[in-house]
Structures are given as C-alpha cells and as structure tokens.
C-alpha cells in the first residue's frame, strides 16, 4: 500500500518536474532568441539613426550656408534651392518622426524646433520666388542662417542627450532581458539539480530494493535448496525452470539435465502422460486448473531409472504479470505407502487371528457341549431311578464335575456370545426371592465343601415379583457367589438383596470373609482372562473370565458393579440393577400348571443317538407324544407321514442338515402351521441370525433343561391347540 | 480586402500603361532617377527615368507607419523587385544615392515582391523634394517586424536620385 502511494507520488513528481523543465527550456529558448536578436540589432545598428540625423542636420545646415555664401558671389541658385529643400526635409523629419518624440517633448527642443521652423517658413517665398527675388534675399538669408546655425547646434546637443537616454533605455531593456534569461537559467539549474537529487534518491531506493530482493531471493534459494520435498518450477509451456536438490535426489536427474526440458518427458509416467497433457492444454485454453491449488494430491512419478513410485503432489500457481509459473512440490511417499501396506497387513492378520479364535471357540462349543449334554441328561434321568446311597454319592460327584465342566464351557461361550451381543433375553416377570433362594440352594453343597456358610437375606418389602431378565441376573450372581466361595475357606459368604427405598433399583451385595484382593488389583479384576495371584492357582482354577462376563452382563442390563476388598479380610461386590416391581406371579403359576396338562405331538430330529434318546425320554416324562428322526431326510419323510404340534430340529447333522430339512418341509408344505424350533450347540451370533432368517420359530441352545424345554413347547403350541380345537367343537 | 486589392491592382496594371502610352512623352521632362549598370556586364548601361517612365511600370500601394512621419501613410510606387525585373538585374548590390550624397548599399536579393518600393506618391500626392521626394525607398514596415530594424531604416533612402548596380563582391 505504502509502496503504491510512494510510486504514485514519485510519478507525480517526475511529471511535474518534466513539465517544469520543458517550460523552462521553452522560456530560455525564447529569451535566448530575444537576446540574440537584440545583440544582432546592436551589432547592425552601426550608426545610430537619431545621432546620424542630428549630425546630418548640422552638416546640411552648414552646406546650405556654404551654397548661400557661394551664391552671394555668383554661385548657382539652384544649389541654394536644393540644399534648402534638403535641410527643410531634414527639419520636417525632426518635426514629424516618432523617434524624435523625446526631443519634441522637451521644452527647449520644442522651442528650438519652432524657431528653426519659423525661419524656414519665412525663407520659403524667397526660395520659391524668381531668381531675382532669391538673389536679393541672399544677404538676409545668410544672416538668418548664422542664427539658425546656433539653433541647429543647440538642437543637436539636445538630441544627443535624448538619444543617449534612448540608448540607455534600450540597454536597460537588454539588461532586463538578460536578467530574465538569467533567472530562467537559474530556475532551470535548480530544477535540474532537483531532478538530479531525485534521480539520486531513486537510485538509492533502487539499490535498497535490489539488496532486499537479493536477500529475499537468497533466502528463498536456501529454502528451496534445503527443502526435503522436491520443488519444481514449471513455465506455462511445461518446461522445467528450477529443480532443487531434493528433486535431484528423488528423481535421479541432475539440475543441469532437468532445467529447460519438458516435465512431462522426464518425470510423468507413461500412463499419466495423456492426462497430464490434457490438463495442461485445458488450463491454457480455459484457465481451468484441475490439479492446481487443490492441496495434496496423490499421483505417481517416474525416476530417471524408469521406476514408478508414488508421490504426493501440491501445485500452486504463481502469476506475475503475463508470466505463469507452476510451483510444484513433490514428496516421495514410497516409504509411507510401504508402511501403510505393512500396517494394513498386520491389522488383517490380527483380525484373521481373532476370527480363527472365534471359530475355534464355536467349534469347541459344539464339540464339547454335545457330549456334555449327553452326560448331564443321562445323570438327570439316572437320579429318577432307584439308587443306593453310595451310587447317589457318586452320581452327585459326577454331577458336580459335569456342572463345573459345563460351567467352564459356558463361560467361554458366554463371552463370545456377549461380545457378539446375541441372544439378548427379553425382560419377563419373575419372583426375585425365589430366584435367589434357588441360586443359594444350588451353591450350598459347594459352600459346605469348603467349610463355608452361605446365607441369604432378602429385603424386598414383601414384593418379590419384579420385571427383568432372570437368566442373566442368575448368571451374573452365580459368577459372583461362585467366586466368593472359591476364594473363601472356612468362612462365610453372605448375600443381601435389598430394594433401594420404593424405587426400581435393587442392590445385590455378595460379601465374603475370604482372601481379599489387593487394592492395586481391584481395577483390573473385571478385565478378560485375569486370574490373580498364582498361589491361588490350585484352589481357584478358572478361565479368568468370570468377572469379565459379570461386568458385561451387568452393563448389558444397564446396571453397575463395584468391588471393595481388603487383603485377609474379605471382599464385597455390589451390583445395582434396575428391577421394577411387578404385580404378582399368577402368570407364572398358570404356566407352571400348564406344563404338565396338555399332551402334544412332537417330532424330535437329532442325529446324536444319546441326545435323541434323552430328548425323547424327557419329553415323554413331560407327557408328550414323541416321534424321532435320525436325520434331515428322515425328518422330511416323518413330517410328511404324521401330524405334529411341534418339530424340534437339530441343525448340525450329516448329509441333510436342519436348515435344508426345514426348507424341504416348508417347500413341500408338509407341516403347514407347525412351528419348527431349532436345537443347536452353536451359540455364535451369526449362527442364530442365520437360523432365524431361514424361518425357524426359535433357536434353543443345547443342552436344554427340562424346564426350558416345557417353556419352548408352551410358547409354540398354544395357538395351534386353539385353532385345532375350534373346528372340533 | 485582399481580393479587392488584387482587383484594384489588376485594373491599375491594365489602365496605367495605356495612359502612359496615350500621353506623349515630354522630351523636356526632368529625369528623376538614373540607374547605372556598370559597363562590362551584358546589360551595362545607364537608364534614366522620368516620373512618367516610372509610372509606366507596375505600381504598388500600401499603408504603413514610418519612424519619420506621424500617423499612417499611404505610399504608391514601383517595387524595387519590379524595377530589377524591368532592367534584368538579378544579382549584386544596389548602391542607393540620395540628393544629399547619402549612400547606402542594398542587396538585390532583398528586393522582393511585397518588399521595398520606390514611392512616388504619398497619401495620393506626388512628393516634393522638401517632403523627401520626389522618390523615396519605403518598406512596408508595419507588415513585418523584420522591416523595423535600424538596418532597414538606414536603407529607407529619401530624395533618391541614383542607383548604381554593383556586382557581388
């Protein structure tokens, strides 16, 4: 801004100065010409006209006197007449001429001229008269001319004074002109001096600017040279104008090789060539800049060796006047790309590992739970037979071990299930006090084995019915009670359940007098696979997943869990859950009574012989009519032959699996309106979703307890029974 | 004005020679001007002019101030250029002589049309010798500042009686 106004000001100054100089030049030229003219005039006025005339007056008067004297002695009268005329004419000039105005203006001059003129007028009759008259008048003429001569003399002296004054005036005029010329020349000199001063200042200013520009250029050069990115300057025709050190290193060309050559020929890979040329010509034609000023763009470059490598590119446009220069910054990002590829691969590998682990767990769950459900089911059946006390003891031991094994397997599976967020239990009404009692009763044996007392205190204000997810609550509390019992020897474990005021919050406190947990460990006990203190390894075998699962369950129920502990004193786990009060448990009662009432026709499809037999026995004991099928194909034909209220279908079967069998039954419309429930040991989330997508009414996970089984049957046959009943009545 | 002048000039040119030829030249008429071309040159001779001879030549008139008179004066006469043409004088200088023996030289090249004339009438009347006549070299002083110099004034010879043509030195 300042520079602009400064340059504007200096332009004005230059303009004004030029104008002044021109005016002064013209003035001095005119004045000079005037002076020359005057000098010339002075040099040519060799005889002063006034003085000449004045002296001529005297001369001519004298000549007149001479011829008059001669005439008195018989001279030619004509001479008298001629000289009279000459003198007369001269006097007339003095009377009339402008140059004698000064003489006439003076009193003495005017008087003298008048007296001369009087005499001449008096002479005229003589001169113009006959020769005789003239000759007679000659003496008088001569006498008068003597007096006249004095007047002429006086006149001449007066004229001298006047003409001197005149030339004085002329000289003064000349002096004035010279003075004026002098002042103009002085002004010219001053103006020239000012101009010189200004030029000096401009020169100095220019030097300062040039120094600054040189410094800036040097800095810029240093920046460009030391830049880690390749910097190329490209002119509008695509020729390289500058090529820095980094560019040499990246592209392998030396500066000398690069400068002046076309960029496209050097560093643009062949497959990008046409694109680049198009962009260039489009820019030149339309000014439409594709790549320019777009920030970083990822492209490919070519080294001198022909190697193509990834570059990150940023082009800016520098426009100075008509000159367009593309400044292009390029960075070799081969290393970064390589690192990115490596990182991606590592991540993919890790994900693949995770997937493999999940797969392993899924497979393991199936492989382990299937035989396990056979073992546990058999034991369940065996308990109903006549047993000796000894046999009962062994069976009890088997039962404990089997339960523990199932517990471990379930824990692992539970984790993957929770991770996957599947099988979320729907809230239902249940009796919390009853659930707690059952839970504590089931653990009494474990407690007794370690010499622990296990006590339950419920303070639910006589309103034990709540709305919640009993299975998950049970699971979470079982984990905590199991842990408390595991880490307590000959102590006590107390479970307190208390509703907070009249609100929805119910607090569960599991308090033990066991080993306790170090404060430093308290924070990480809820992490996965944490088993504290190796010394407890013997007594506290486990997966280390218990608390992690508990935390997940509590979180999924929207509750909170916290732990307090002191080494040697024991631990306290507090779980707070939202369990709104429910009215009664009549529904449940109805359900329970309904369990044994109605007999259903059920088709059980199961490839495992033991499990199939167990299922058949269990269902028969519940009062149902059971038909069995060993595989998918058999199931399809059985469905075609008999009438069923429900089909329980195993999914994993050789040859025709459960899903295929389902499709065939539905496709052939063999069991219209009959619900088909899937039985599976697969607990993975995507499995469940896949099965339900096929059209199964529900997915029941094996091993399935008697109670669960009766619930499933109740859910999927009641409608059917009603619709059947209607036409019969 | 210029048109009228030229028309007038044309009429004068046409009429005056007729008048001149019509009146018989008076053998006793006085010579008013002698032009002397020295012997040795092709046209070496002395030419005498009476007033009537001069009037035969093309007449030129103009009005101007002079430093020797008061007010604007009308002059009529023969231009020096016309006289030179008449006598076939093309180069050299003219030595102008007055009755009082005043002598001054004048370059032939200075005798241009629109320049000096040998006036024989002032304000419509012939000039007596007492009035700087009968012939007076007059320049159109007012028409050009170049005619207002001392040099020109010195060449404004009155009471002109003789012109001697001198070859260029």
ipTM above 0.90, yes or no: no
Residue A614: Cβ within 10 Å count: 23
Query: What residues of chain A lie within 8 A of the CB of B97, using their CB?
Result: none
Q: Which of A47, A86, A97 sits opposite B69 (nearest CB)?
A: A97
pLDDT at B18: 41
- Chain A: give the shortest CA distance to residue B72, in Å: 12
In the three-class reduction of DSSP (H, G, I as helix; E, B as strand; rest coil), residue A311 is classed as strand
User: Which chain B positions have a beta carbon within 8 Å of A96's beta carbon?
Assistant: 68-70
- Indicate the range of A292-306, A492-506, A540-554, B150-164 predicted with least confidence: A540-554
Binding-face residues of A in 4-43 toward B, CB within 8 A: 41
Distance from CA of B152 to the nearest CA of A (A): 10
For chain B, say whether A166 makes contact (Cβ under 8 Å): no
Instruction: State mean pLDDT over A405-409.
Output: 78
What residues of chain A lie within 8 A of the CB of B128, using their CB? 85
In this predicted structure, what is the pLDDT of residue A540? 44
Banded pLDDT at A41 (limits 50, 70, 90): low
Which residues of chain B does A102 touch, with a Cβ-Cβ cutoff of 8 Å?
none
Residue A266, pLDDT above cutoff 90: no
A159 CA: distance to closest CA in chain B (Å)? 15
Q: Using CB atoms, pick whichever of A44, A85, A99 lies closest to residue B130.
A: A85
Q: Does A56 touch chain B (CB under 8 A)?
A: yes
Tell which B residues from 44 to 83 touch A, by Cβ distance under 8 Å.
65-70
CB atoms within 10 A of CB A628: 19
The pair phi, psi for residue B45, each rounded to 5°, is -175, 170
Q: How far apart are CA A567 and CA A520, in angstroms?
A: 11
Instruction: Decide if A85 touches B, using CB distance below 8 A.
Output: yes
The predicted structure's pLDDT at residue A494: 92
Closest Cα partner for B73 from A596, A580, A309, A98? A98
Residue of A nearest to B104 (CA): A47
- The nearest CA of chain B is from the CA of A97 a distance in Å of 3
The whole-chain average pLDDT of chain A stands at: 80
Across the interface, do A98 and B129 touch by the CB < 8 Å criterion?
no
Distance (Å, rounded) from C-alpha A720 to C-alpha A707?
A: 21
- In chain A, residues with a C-beta closer than 8 Å to the C-beta of B132 are 89, 92-93
pLDDT digits (tens, 9 = 90+) for B84-95: 888 888 888 889
Q: Which residue has the tokens 């504007």?
A: A8
* A50/A65 Cα distance (integer angstroms): 23
Contact A89 B131 (CB under 8 A): yes
Residues A547, A495, A491, A526, Cα dihedral to 10°: 10
Q: How far apart are CA A683 and CA A688, in angstroms?
A: 7
CA dist list (Å): A24 to A29, A180, A188, A200, A539: 8, 11, 6, 22, 120
Per-residue pLDDT, B63: 92
Q: Could you tell me whether strands A505-512 and A560-566 are parallel, antiparallel, or unpaired per DSSP bridges?
A: unpaired
Q: Which of A97-111, A340-354, B65-79 is least confident?
A: A97-111
Examine the pLDDT at B2 and tell me if it is beyond 50. Answer: no
Q: What are A411-440's pLDDT values in tens digits? A: 776 666 665 555 556 777 888 888 888 888
Alpha carbon A350 to chain centroid, angstroms? 33
Interface contact B150, partner A, CB < 8 A: yes
- Beta-bridge mates of residue A563: A573
**What band does A207 get if pLDDT is binned at 50, 70 and 90?**
very high
Q: Which residues of chain B lie closer than 8 angstroms to A52, CB-CB?
A: 154
Portion of chain A with pLDDT greater than 90, in percent: 6
Secondary structure (3-state) at A192: helix
pLDDT: which is higher, A667 or A103:
A667
| A93 part of contact set with chain B, CB < 8 Å | yes
Tens-digit pLDDT profile for residues A544-579: 667 877 888 888 888 899 888 888 888 899 999 988
All residues of chain B having their beta carbon less than 8 Å from the beta carbon of residue A88 are 130
Tokens of A212: 């600054």
pLDDT at A529: 58
Helix, strand, or coil here: A76? coil
Distance CA A395, CA A386 (A): 12
The two structure tokens encoding residue A278? 């198009």
Q: How far is B14 from chain A, CA to nearest CA, in Å?
A: 35
pLDDT at site A474: 84
Per DSSP, B91 falls in state: S
pLDDT category at B1 given cuts 50, 70, 90 is: very low
Residue B6 has pLDDT above 60, yes or no: no
What pLDDT, on the 0 to 100 scale, is given for residue A274? 83
What pLDDT does A531 receive? 55
What would the pLDDT profile of A685-717 be if each residue is shown by its tens digit? 667 778 888 888 888 877 777 777 888 888 887
Using CA coordinates, name the residue in chain B closest to A57. Answer: B100
3-state class of A473 per DSSP?
Answer: helix
Segment (H or E) for B30: none
Q: For A279-283, A488-492, B30-34, which range has the lowest pLDDT when averaged over its residues?
A: A279-283
Question: pLDDT: is A326 or A363 the higher one?
Answer: A326
Between A231 and A592, the higher pLDDT residue: A231
Helix, strand or coil for residue A242?
strand
* Residue A200 pLDDT level (bands cut at 50, 70, 90): very high
Between B132 and A7, residue with greater pLDDT: B132
Nearest to A628 by CA among A606, A599, A611: A606
Contact: B67, A97; criterion CB under 8 Å? yes
Nearest chain B residue to A42 by CA distance is: B150
A608-633 residue pLDDT tens: 888 888 888 888 888 888 898 888 88
Under an 8 A CB cutoff, do B70 and A85 touch?
no
pTM summary value: 0.39
pLDDT number for residue A204: 93
A62 to chain B, any CB pair closer than 8 A? The answer is: no
Which residue, B3, B137, B124, is CA-closest to B78?
B137
- Contact in structure between A529 and A481 (CB atoms under 8 Å): no
Mutate to test the interface with A, among B130, B133, B156 (most CBs of A within 10 A): B130
pLDDT score, position A727: 39
- The confidence score (pLDDT) of residue A586 equals 45
For residues A596-600, average pLDDT: 68
Give the range among A29-43, A71-85, A129-143, A304-318 with minimum mean pLDDT: A29-43
Does the structure show a pLDDT above 90 at B75? yes
Nearest-CA residue of chain B relative to A87? B130
Q: Do B159 and A56 count as a contact with CB atoms less than 8 A apart?
A: no
Residue A162, pLDDT above cutoff 70: no
3-state secondary structure of A227: coil
Residues in chain B with CB shorter than 8 Å from the CB of A93 are 68, 132
């Amino acid at each position: 801004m300042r520079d602009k106004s400064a340059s504007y000001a200096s332009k004005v100054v230059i303009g004004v100065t030029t104008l002044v100089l021109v005016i002064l030049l013209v003035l001095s030229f005119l004045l000079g010409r005037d002076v020359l003219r005057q000098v010339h005039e002075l040099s040519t006025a060799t005889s002063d006209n006034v003085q000449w005339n004045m002296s001529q007056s005297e001369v001519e008067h004298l000549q007149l006197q001479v011829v008059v004297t001669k005439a008195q002695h018989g001279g030619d009268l004509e001479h008298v007449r001629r000289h009279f005329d000459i003198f007369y004419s001269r006097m007339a000039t003095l009377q009339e001429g402008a140059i004698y105005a000064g003489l006439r203006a003076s009193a003495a001059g005017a008087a003298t001229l008048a007296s001369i003129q009087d005499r001449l007028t008096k002479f005229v009759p003589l001169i113009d008269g006959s020769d005789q008259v003239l000759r007679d008048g000659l003496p008088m003429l001569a006498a008068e001319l003597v007096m006249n001569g004095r007047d002429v003399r006086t006149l001449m002296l007066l004229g001298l004074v006047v003409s001197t004054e005149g030339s004085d005036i002329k000289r003064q005029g000349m002096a004035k002109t010279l003075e004026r010329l002098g002042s103009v020349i002085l002004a010219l000199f001053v103006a020239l001096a000012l101009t010189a001063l200004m030029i000096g200042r401009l020169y100095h200013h220019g030097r300062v600017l040039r120094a600054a520009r040189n410094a800036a250029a040097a800095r810029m050069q240093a920046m460009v040279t030391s830049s880690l990115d390749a910097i190329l300057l490209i002119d509008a025709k695509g020729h390289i104008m500058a090529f820095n050190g980094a560019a040499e290193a990246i592209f392998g060309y030396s500066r000398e090789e690069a400068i002046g050559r076309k960029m496209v020929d050097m560093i643009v890979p062949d497959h990008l060539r046409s694109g680049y040329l198009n962009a260039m010509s489009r820019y030149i034609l339309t000014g439409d800049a594709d790549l320019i000023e777009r920030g970083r763009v990822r492209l490919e470059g070519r080294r001198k060796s022909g190697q193509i490598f990834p570059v990150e590119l940023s082009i800016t446009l520098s426009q100075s006047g008509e000159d367009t220069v593309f400044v292009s910054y390029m960075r070799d990002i081969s290393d970064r790309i390589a690192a990115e590829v490596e990182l991606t691969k590592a991540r993919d590998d890790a994900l693949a590992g995770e997937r493999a682990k999940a797969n392993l767990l899924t497979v393991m769950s199936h492989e382990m739970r299937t035989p396990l459900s056979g073992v546990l089911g058999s034991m369940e059946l065996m308990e109903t037979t006549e047993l000796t006390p000894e046999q009962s003891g062994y069976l009890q031991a088997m039962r404990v071990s089997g339960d523990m094994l199932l517990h471990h397997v379930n824990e692992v599976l539970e984790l993957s299930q929770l991770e996957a967020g599947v099988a979320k239990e729907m809230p239902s009404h249940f009796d919390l006090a009853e659930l707690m009692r059952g839970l504590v009763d089931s653990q009494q044996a474990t407690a007794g084995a370690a010499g622990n007392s296990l006590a339950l205190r419920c303070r639910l204000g006589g309103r034990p019915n709540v709305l919640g997810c009993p299975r998950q609550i049970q699971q979470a509390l079982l984990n905590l009670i199991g842990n408390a019992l595991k880490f307590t020897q000959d102590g006590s474990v107390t479970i307190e359940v208390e509703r907070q005021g009249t609100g929805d919050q119910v607090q569960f406190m599991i308090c033990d007098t066991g080993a306790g947990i170090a404060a430093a460990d308290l924070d990480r006990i809820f992490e996965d696979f944490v088993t504290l203190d190796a010394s407890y390894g013997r007594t506290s075998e486990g997966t280390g997943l218990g608390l992690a699962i508990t935390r997940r369950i509590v979180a999924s129920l929207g509750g909170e869990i916290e732990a307090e502990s002191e080494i040697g004193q024991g631990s306290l786990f507090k779980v707070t859950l939202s369990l709104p009060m429910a009215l009664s448990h009549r529904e449940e009662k109805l359900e329970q009574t309904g369990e044994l009432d109605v007999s259903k026709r059920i088709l059980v499809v199961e490839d495992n012989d033991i499990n199939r037999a167990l299922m058949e026995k269990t269902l028969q004991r519940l009062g149902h009519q059971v038909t069995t099928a060993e595989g998918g194909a058999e199931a399809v034909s059985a469905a075609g032959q008999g009438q069923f209220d429900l089909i329980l279908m195993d999914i994993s079967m050789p040859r025709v699996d459960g899903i295929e069998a389902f499709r065939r039954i539905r496709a052939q419309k063999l069991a219209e309106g009959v619900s088909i429930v899937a039985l599976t040991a697969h607990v993975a989330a995507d499995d469940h979703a896949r099965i339900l997508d096929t059209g199964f009414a529900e997915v029941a996970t094996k091993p399935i307890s008697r109670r669960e089984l009766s619930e499933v049957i109740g859910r999927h046959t009641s409608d059917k029974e009603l619709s059947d009943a209607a036409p019969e009545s | 004005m210029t048109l009228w002048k030229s028309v007038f000039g044309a009429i004068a040119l046409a009429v005056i020679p007729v008048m001149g030829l019509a009146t018989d030249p008076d053998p006793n008429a006085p010579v008013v001007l002698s032009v002397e071309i020295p012997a040795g040159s092709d046209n070496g001779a002395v030419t005498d002019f009476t007033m009537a001879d001069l009037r035969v030549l093309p007449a030129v008139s103009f009005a101007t101030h002079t430093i020797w008179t008061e007010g604007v004066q009308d002059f009529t006469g023969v231009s020096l250029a016309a006289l030179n043409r008449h006598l076939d004088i093309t180069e050299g200088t003219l030595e102008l002589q007055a009755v009082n023996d005043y002598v001054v030289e004048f370059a032939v090249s200075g005798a241009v049309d629109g320049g000096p004339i040998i006036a024989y009438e002032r304000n419509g009347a012939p000039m007596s010798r007492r009035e700087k006549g009968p012939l007076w070299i007059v320049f159109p002083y007012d028409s050009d500042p170049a005619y207002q110099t001392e040099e020109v004034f010195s060449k404004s010879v009155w009471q002109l009686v003789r012109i001697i043509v001198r070859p260029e030195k």
